[in-house]
Amino acid sequence: MKQNRPISFFSFPGTAEAAVNFYVQTFPNSKLINLTYYSHDAPDLIGKILTADFTIMGEPFYALDFTEEQAPPASWQTSQYIEFTDTDEFDQVFNQLAQEGIVLMGPEAIQQFDKATWVTDRFGITWQLVHRRIK
């Protein structure tokens, strides 16, 4: 892994393992690298994810669980931005994220994009997906 670059780190209210598995299945070129679970040192979180190391479309991500009381609230103030060159991949990923999620905008054509959308998935993570027009 390269050093000195930002890596997204997701915090979940006890749903990290389900979320990570969902992302690895939803996005192409994605994989689960490692899961570490809380132990008896954190009795409220035994069996939940202390660290999840995974990739989405080849990029590294991390995740962990908090208790529901400790977990930060979900917000679409920040989002994950992904550009697609394949329309079918865009559609497949969008459809998976939108299922049980909230579509904030689109998909629709905007400026240089054939399709653009903001969607918050069922785990509270917001994604901006775009498909760039090929000239």
What CATH code is carried by the domain that includes residue 20? 3.30.720.100
CATH of the domain at 125: 3.10.180.10
pLDDT at 1: 55
Locate 84 and state its tokens: 């697609």
Nearest to 8 by CA among 53, 71, 38: 53
Q: Does residue 56 form part of some domain? A: yes
What are the tens digits of pLDDT across the range 29-85? 999 999 999 999 899 999 999 999 999 999 999 999 999 999 888 888 899 999 999
For residue 103, the enclosing domain spans 80-132
pLDDT at 2: 60
pLDDT at 127: 98
Residues 55 and 85 both lie in one domain:
no
